[in-house]
Structure 1
Amino acid sequence: MKFNDLLLGILVLLGGIAIYVSALGFTDIPGQAYGAGTMPRAIAIFAGCLGLFMIAKAAIAGTRMPRLELSGWVRSRRSVLSVVVALVLIVFYIVAAPSIGFVPASLVVMAVLMLTLKTRPLTAIAVSVLACVVIQQAFGRLLLVPLPRSEFLEFLW
């Protein structure tokens, strides 16, 4: 789908406002100058400014009516299948990760998505394994984000 700048600017502005409002409920960390809402608020402000810029640019260019056009990829079965597979994998991760853990669930998601996008099998598996371990270590160990744990891979972490 193709959006013109006016419609996309409105969507980005509304998204920025929604992120900012939802981040207002995040609590501050005692003794810290920043809290859990700092980055979401910063991203929301950036998105709001970007949305306003896009709206102003479209208004100066004389764009009148927000228009929605279907792009060429929508006519391709392979592209539509890739989007459907991506959406199914997101649902799979949401459902499966709490019970089987982050590493197995994300490994399946990344490998299947790469294979759907015609990546060589050996490359897809190698990159999936490496990415899962790096993401788990970065978020689980360094940033202390509680990722879903796996009962049968407990020995790794």
Structure 2
Amino acid sequence: MKFNDLLLGLLVLVAGVAIYVSALGFTDIPGQAYGAGTMPRAIALFAVCLGLSMIGRAVVAGARMPRLELAPWVRAPRPVVSALVAIALVVFYIAAAPAIGFVPASLVVMAVLMLTLRTRPVTAIAVSIAACVVIQQAFGRLLLVPLPRSEFLGFLW
């Protein structure tokens, strides 16, 4: 899909305002000049400025009405199926990860997505396994992010 700059600018502006408002509820870290809301607020301000800039450029260029135009790839079935598979895999991960854990859920997501995008099966499985282990170690062990655990593979980590 292709959006003109006026519509896209409005979307970015609304998203920036929503991010800023949601970040107002984040708590500050005691004794620090910044807290959990610092980066989201900075990103939100950047988004608001970007949205206003896009709206201004569209108005100067003479865009009258927000318009939506389908991109050429939407007319081909393969890219549409790939996009739908990607969305379905995100939903699968959200539903399955708490029950089966991060490693099995992300392994399935990455492998299926790579196979859908026509990666060779051996490569897809090898990269999926390596990526899952690296991501789990980086986030679970190094950054101490609480990833969903699996009873089945709990002994590995």
- Superposition TM-score tier, normalisation by shorter sequence: over 0.9
Gaps of 5+ in 2: none
Range with bigger deviation, 37-46 or 103-112: 37-46
After TM superposition, where is structure 1 displaced by more than 3 Å over at least 4 residues in a row?
A: none
Whichever residue aligns with residue 126 of structure 2, its letter is A
Mapped to 2, the partners of 1:81 and 1:64 lie a distance apart of 34
Alignment of 1:5-44 (within 5 A): 5-44=5-44
Alignment of 1:96-107 (within 5 A): 96-107=96-107
Deviation digits for residues 22-72 of structure 1 (CA, Å, limit 9, x no counterpart): 111111122222222122112111111111111111122111111101111
The residue that corresponds to 1:156 in the other structure is: 156
Whichever residue aligns with residue 53 of structure 2, its letter is F
RMSD of the alignment, in Å? 1.2
The residue that corresponds to 1:140 in the other structure is: 140
Q: How many residues align?
A: 157
Whichever residue aligns with residue 37 of structure 1, its letter is G
SS in 2 for 1:147: coil
Whichever residue aligns with residue 89 of structure 2, its letter is L
Deviation digits for residues 79-111 of structure 1 (CA, Å, limit 9, x no counterpart): 111111111111110110001111110111011
SS in 2 for 1:114: helix
The residue that corresponds to 1:48 in the other structure is: 48
TM-score of the two chains, using structure 1 as the length reference: 0.94
Mapped to 2, the partners of 1:53 and 1:142 lie a distance apart of 39
Range with bigger deviation, 87-96 or 39-48: 39-48
How far 1:150 moved relative to its partner? 1.1
1:64 paired with 2:64, answer yes
Q: Percent identity?
A: 81
Deviation digits for residues 92-145 of structure 1 (CA, Å, limit 9, x no counterpart): 101100011111101110110111011111221122112212221222222221
TM-score of the two chains, using structure 2 as the length reference: 0.94
The residue that corresponds to 1:118 in the other structure is: 118
1:90 paired with 2:90, answer yes
Mapped to 1, the partners of 2:46 and 2:133 lie a distance apart of 31
Mapped to 2, the partners of 1:142 and 1:33 lie a distance apart of 25
